[in-house]
Amino acid sequence: MTTSRAASRKASAHAEGHHGWDEYAPFYDWENARTFGRRDVPFWQRLAASRGGAVLELGAGTGRVTVPLGKAAAARVVGIDRSAAMLALGRTRLRRARLGNVSLVRGDIRHLPFARGAFDTVIAPYGILQSLLREADLKATLSAVAGVLPRGGVFGLELVADLPDWREYQGRVSLKGRRGRDGRPITLRESVRQDRRRGLTYFDQEFIEGRGRTAVRQRFTLTFRTVSVPRMARRLEAAGFEVTAVLGDYQGGPWDARAAVWILLARKS
Ligand SMILES: C[S@@+](CC[C@H](N)C(=O)[O-])C[C@H]1O[C@@H](n2cnc3c(N)ncnc32)[C@H](O)[C@@H]1O
């Protein structure tokens, strides 16, 4: 094992799912526009529009989903996120969109700072619940979500499907492009590590912006936990929800274990 691999493994013992996002923030939208994009956004917009009432988004980040949600929903939309740097970009996006019904709040999803029953719908897009690395964190979050919903309120969440299937690799250039008005070159070099015993996947990322001696490097690790659909369904039920649908695509098609999309919809009992 090389020294840097040994150091990464040591750091992993102290990993938290909320680590790395401040460092990732300046690159998040750039990378996202080239990878996942906006394919889930119409799904969350339709859910919010069909529900009416106030919506809370867990892990709102740079507002990729929050802002379009605010456009689709007439009612109040609140996004919560722990990363000040992600939220700063979200606030810029919000100002540009000139939406009066949307607000972004800094906080941790394990302890939601809202009144009981304050929202009609809570959504957790793009694997945010997989940033909760311990069973106790997931339990606390599901209980907090149940607290801010009234009876009959809806909780929709998406799990990132293929984390355990990612092959491990080291130092692979996974993206290259240009960014900013001056078209600075930018490269993403990435390593993937799996801790199958703990069900954790680590993405060690290094963004290199510019060239040669003046290049700026940003290194950080993001960690995600695998949670299967059946296990999440059991956790939801234990937290006082009834699972009403498990979807395998963004058009509402049914889920099976090979589906590329894992969405659960649940109603507070
Ligand atoms: C994959 S990003 C999703 C951002 C946005 N929802 C989207 O789909 O583009 C996950 C976000 O969750 C936030 N996050 C991770 N753990 C958190 C926690 N415990 N409490 C609040 N936010 C958290 C991160 O700061 C990050 O902005």
Atom 18 of ligand 1 has which residue's CA nearest to it? 108
Q: Is the CB of 126 under 6 A from ligand 1?
A: yes
In this prediction, residue 8 carries a pLDDT of 62
In this prediction, residue 5 carries a pLDDT of 61
Residue 39 tokens, joined: 């394919």
For ligand 1, pick from 131, 159, 201 the residue to mutate: most ligand atoms within 8 Å of CB: 131
Structural domains of the chain ordered from first start: 3-32+163-225 (no CATH), 36-160+228-268 (3.40.50.150)
Q: Is the CB of 109 under 6 A from ligand 1?
A: yes
CA distance to 61, 67, 185, per residue, from 139 (Å): 22, 28, 43
82-85, Cβ contacts within 8 angstroms, sequence gap of 24 or more: 82/18, 82/21, 82/106, 82/107, 82/108, 82/109, 83/18, 83/21, 83/22, 83/25, 84/22, 85/21, 85/22, 85/23, 85/25, 85/26
- Can you list the residues of the chain whose pLDDT is less than 50? 1, 3
In this prediction, residue 1 carries a pLDDT of 46
Q: Is the CB of 23 under 6 A from ligand 1?
A: no
Q: Are residues 231 and 243 in contact, defined by beta-carbon separation less than 8 angstroms?
A: no
Atom 27 of ligand 1 has which residue's CA nearest to it? 61
112-139: pLDDT as tens digits: 999 999 999 999 999 999 999 999 999 9
In this prediction, residue 74 carries a pLDDT of 73
- Which bin fits 37, alpha (ψ -120 to 50), beta or left (φ > 0)? left
pTM of the shown model:
0.94
Q: Is the CB of 21 under 6 A from ligand 1?
A: yes
